Copies of this chain bind each other. A is one copy, B any other.
Amino acid sequence: MKRIKCTVSYDGTLFNGYQRQPGQRTVQGEIESALNKICKQSVTIHSSGRTDAGVHAYGQVFHFDSDLSMDGGRYAKALNSILPEDIYVLDSQEVHPDFHSRYHGKVKEYRYKMSLNEYNPLNRHYVYYHRRPLDVERMREAMGYLLGTHDFTSFCGNLDEVNKERTIYKAELLDDEGELTFIFVGNGFLRYMIRIMVGTMIQVGEGRKLPNDIKHILSMKDRRLAGHTAKPQGLYLHRVEYPEEVLVVPSKKIE
């Protein structure tokens, strides 16, 4: 048995989210159905985490087990020859048999694209268009308060989550002539957390909140104090990082 790790891009527009659901077109469902054909048996994949409906991925990671003797690097090409055109496997490799895409994913990067410029129908599924001007400098200041380890209850859309403590290593806002990119790097993110942080930054940018209100919002652990959940089409799971040791395939003993 080999454990295979894949890195995959997808356009979230036409999927009912990531997670397999009977009768729905989902990313997991499409990938598993392609793997079933390749492996000629039922395969379950495990991803670094779900993405919601309309959310895209550049570097989502999943793993699965296979009994085939095929080299791990060949799954990418085999999958791409079967998968629909809105999913593309960038890379596949055999990894340590204990590797787990969710448990070992220690660093995740999400990006959110927002445009303050005139609407362009050609980008509508890939950028969120905000119609009012935003004060980018104030938003940058506010993003600084998100850095570090906090209880993110106020920025969480799922009340059932047990541990709401997360660490954000990087929270950056790029501005290319009104084309904004929010970059968040952390050890993990709660459900809707990025989109609620972006929705809150919009309120800061519009002057409806002060940058240092973020401190208070975090400390109160109350979802109602943060902003709305920003639209999904601007969000991308950009990459997931793993420690080197879980990637290395142990060398086989010579018998």
A126→B87 CA distance, assembly (Å): 16
Contact string, A24-58, partner B, CB cutoff 8 A, digits 1/0? Answer: 00000000000000000000000000000000101
Stretch at the interface among A116-124, A139-147, A216-224: A116-124
* C-alpha gap A115/B232 in the complex (Å): 27
A121 to chain B, nearest CB (A): 5
* CB pair B90 A124 closer than 8 Å: no
Copies of this protein in the complex: 2
With both chains docked as a complex, state the minimum distance between the C-beta of A231 and any C-beta of chain B, in angstroms. Answer: 12
Contacts of A11 in B (CB 8 A): 121-122, 124
Most buried by B among A11, A86, A118, A121: A121
Binding site for B on A (CB under 8 A): 9-11, 56, 58, 80, 85-88, 90, 118-122, 124, 126
Interchain CA distance A33-B197 in the complex, whole Å: 40
How far is it, in angstroms, between the C-alpha of A126 and the C-alpha of B127 when the chains are bound?
A: 14
Interface of A (DSSP majority class): mixed
Complex interface: chain B residues within 8 A of A120 (CB): 9, 88
Contacts of A122 in B (CB 8 A): 9, 11, 56, 58, 126
Q: Which residues of B contact A118 (CB under 8 A)?
A: 90
Indicate if the CB atoms of A121 and B87 lie closer than 8 Å: yes
> Please, which residue of chain B has its CB at the minimum distance from the CB of A122?
B11
Question: Ordered nearest first, which 7 A-B pairs have the shortest CB separation?
Answer: A11-B121, A88-B121, A86-B121, A11-B122, A88-B119, A9-B121, A85-B124
Task: Report chain B residues within 8 Å CB of A124.
Answer: 11, 85-86
Which B residues touch A10, using CB under 8 A? 121
Q: How far is the CA of A16 from the CA of B124 in the complex (A)?
A: 19
Residues from chain B with a CB closer than 8 A to the CB of A80 are 119
How far, in Å, is A92 (CB) from chain B's closest CB?
Answer: 14
The complex places the Cα of A122 from the Cα of B121 at a distance, in Å, of 15
Q: How far is the CB of A249 from chain B (nearest CB, A)?
A: 25
